A and B are shown apart, each in its own frame.
Chain A
């Protein structure tokens, strides 16, 4: 379990993370979404004790990360890509990290096998492709069989097979009762992987909700209607709280009314409906809606916040 309470981080006069509070529960995959510069990586760094918070606290399994006595066994972390020495072989990288927690070579061989790097593990990590680097990072995270897994953009640079593999790995880890916290900017991928979402923009919490709720909330009130007389229907539907716009081929997009309400208006006016559907927003669209303000009003000077 990860608990974040009033977490705030300033770099100079730039606020990277602003009074963030949330809890990541075990037993499900929690996606951590936000546009670039929203503060995802900074939040991860604060949880892992790499950066000290300006205010607030973050605990993993009940303890601040800096006070963990057996960190590899409590928390498995995939950091931003390229947190390895490029001159060292992948195997020795893993071995050196394993040894800090008294983990032996057998376990190193196991995780290498698990992430599918057996053939290339003796190669220098600097020669690895982005996808191989991600697999190496995931191997590092799994070394200590941790109760909590925290992965920063694990899908970056992976091919379709790799994405599918990570997705099922994360689900399996969650099914085993572990806490799984994954940041990503690939919204649709998160829809397939995560059961719960934490969305941030400009360092602030925008949503802490289930995936289905998040989509439903952002997509509510948009109705597509096609009729024999779109102009007459548009005139009847339009009001200060209802927006109507043509969607081509005689259809209208209506926001602010449910399908029931649109159907009744058409019936009272004697207009024949050919099609009437509630538009389901994709996670991508829901995400755009939720973070639009956060992106629009972000000053260019905060670009460096998401280190």
Chain B
């Protein structure tokens, strides 16, 4: 504890002191990389993508399709990407926690005092997740694709990235995972409560389809393609379901839903007491 005046001497000029979006992104990146739960969630997601995809292809290679009908519906890319379905839970929960853990611990007050305009914090969290997601998931989905296809090739069941739609499905899976993370983040910011946000994330991803399933078939068929999950996963399928939207149209719609939730959360963030 040395001389106070010496330690408190100003070190920066007026212009460098302003809070900017870029500085808040740096701050959120520091938070992201030093929050233990973030690292564990991402590690789990990558382990699920690669591990489950490879495991499933090892299982399927021992039970190759025999009938022509089986052959026709056999999708080697989907087998390799089977882990994405599980990984989306880990990524979605990570997105939720990035925001709700701040509310649960009281950190949000420190964050909002440092950035009184508030919105840059929310945007920065979304930006960090949008940049980190593909950085991890694109290598993961391509790695699991390569390994699983080499496994399936032992029985001449594999495919390659040159086939139509395959590269798009592999890349699309990584993008879909990132978008699920953003949806979790947006729901977390909207509800500010971990349990509530995770429950609604699962409701949106899995529950809506169940509810729509209770409607008359004609109505259900025309609605279900616009639901978040059928729309979002269209981009992850090599051979799209004829009933679903086009791959990029569907993914775009999923992103639009996410943007609406994020926008609503932003609107409330400026108005609510912290």
List A residues at the B interface (Cβ < 8 Å): 45, 48-52, 65-73, 75, 77, 79-80, 82-89, 92-93, 95-103, 106-107, 110-111, 113-116, 140, 142, 144-145, 165, 169, 172-173, 176
Contacts and interface: CB of A to CB of B under 8 A. Distances in A.
Contacts of B36: 87-88
B103 to A, nearest CB: 11
Interface in B82-117: 101-102, 105-107, 109-117
Contact of B105 (A48, A84, A140): A84
B107 A176 contact: no
Contacts of A72: 17, 19, 114
A96 B35 CA distance: 11
A70 to B, nearest CB: 4
Contacts of B23: 99-102
Given A97-B110, A106-B11, A116-B1, 15 more contacts: A50-B113, A66-B116, A68-B116, A70-B17, A71-B115, A83-B105, A83-B110, A88-B35, A96-B31, A102-B16, A113-B1, A114-B7, A115-B1, A140-B110, A172-B4
Determine chain B's interface SS by DSSP, over half rule: helix
A116 B249 CA distance: 57
B114 A100 contact: yes
A69 B34 contact: no
B30 interface: yes
Interface size class of B (residues with CB under 8 A): 35 or more
Contacts of B101: 85
A145 B5 CA distance: 10
B117 A85 contact: no
B70 interface: no
B35 A85 contact: yes
A80 B28 CA distance: 22
A67 B116 contact: yes
B34 A84 contact: no
Contact of A69 (B11, B19, B30, B271): B19
B112 to A, nearest CB: 6
Contacts of B10: 145
B116 A100 contact: no
A70 B26 CA distance: 16
